[in-house]
Amino acid sequence: MSSWLIDMDGVLVHEGLALNGAREFLDLLDEKGIPHLILTNNSIFTPRDLAARLATSGIEVDESRIWTSALATARFLATQSDSRRAYVVGEAGLTTALYEENFIMTTANPDFVILGETRTYSFEAITTAIRLIQNGARFIATNPDATGPSAEGDLPATGAVAAMIETATGRKPFFLGKPNPIMLRHGLNRIGAHSEDTSIVGDRMDTDILAGIEAGLTTHLVLTGSTKREDIVKHPFRPDHVHKSIADVIEFV
């Protein structure tokens, strides 16, 4: 493969610790000059924040190598509205990405209600989002992940909160993060890559692998994150390769 897209949590790191083979895999890509990009559905943090978190685990990555669902959301929505007015439920990763695309954050006649990841979902903010959607704002969410990991166990994530808003409004959100191939196409364009010559490494069948299949990439599933080997058969599609960890993907570089 001439280029690689790599998921972050469950592939490179888990709970702040580098996973087996992660540093070696990225070092080999750098050594060979192979274009690559780290993708994450996490919209809480900016690429600079995520680069710092990776550095803490011992993985040095420039922030330009990180592409988030927040960036994909902001980039796409900038092409969908001239006024660029949005009501946002999310954190710095999402609001910063939107500001960089010249969005205005407002409750006054927004074009979009944009739901992102946050650890402090507010009933008041969700109520405002529901009412704005009922009044005609388009419902956007950064990613469909229903849960996120923590040291204590799963946490409700964007997909779970989106389901609540959908139930209240009768309006389905448009998700911009994985498995939407828009996020992958933006990533491919960012590194000048083509889908036929690109592989994706991920730990989730329902986001990473599905996105790779729909975008025409070669898919590598690692079993160090959300999807276990016994979960694979629950899906109507299969990855091209299954590995214990990213350490086993190194031989494909």
User: Which residues have a catalytic role annotated?
Assistant: 7, 9
CB 156 within 8 A of CB 146: yes
Residues linked to residue 241 through DSSP beta bridges, in sequence order: 220
Q: Could you give phi then psi for residue 184, rounded to 5 degrees?
A: -70, -40
CB 251 within 8 A of CB 233: no
Q: Which of 146, 160, 155, 247 is nearest to 206 (CA)?
A: 146
Calculate the alpha carbon distances from 87 to 30, 60, 92, 104, 141 in Å: 39, 34, 14, 8, 12
Determine how β-strand 147-148 pairs with β-strand 155-156: antiparallel
Three-state DSSP state, 221: strand
Three-state DSSP state, 85: strand
CB 114 within 8 A of CB 162: no
Sign of CA dihedral 205, 221, 40, 185: negative
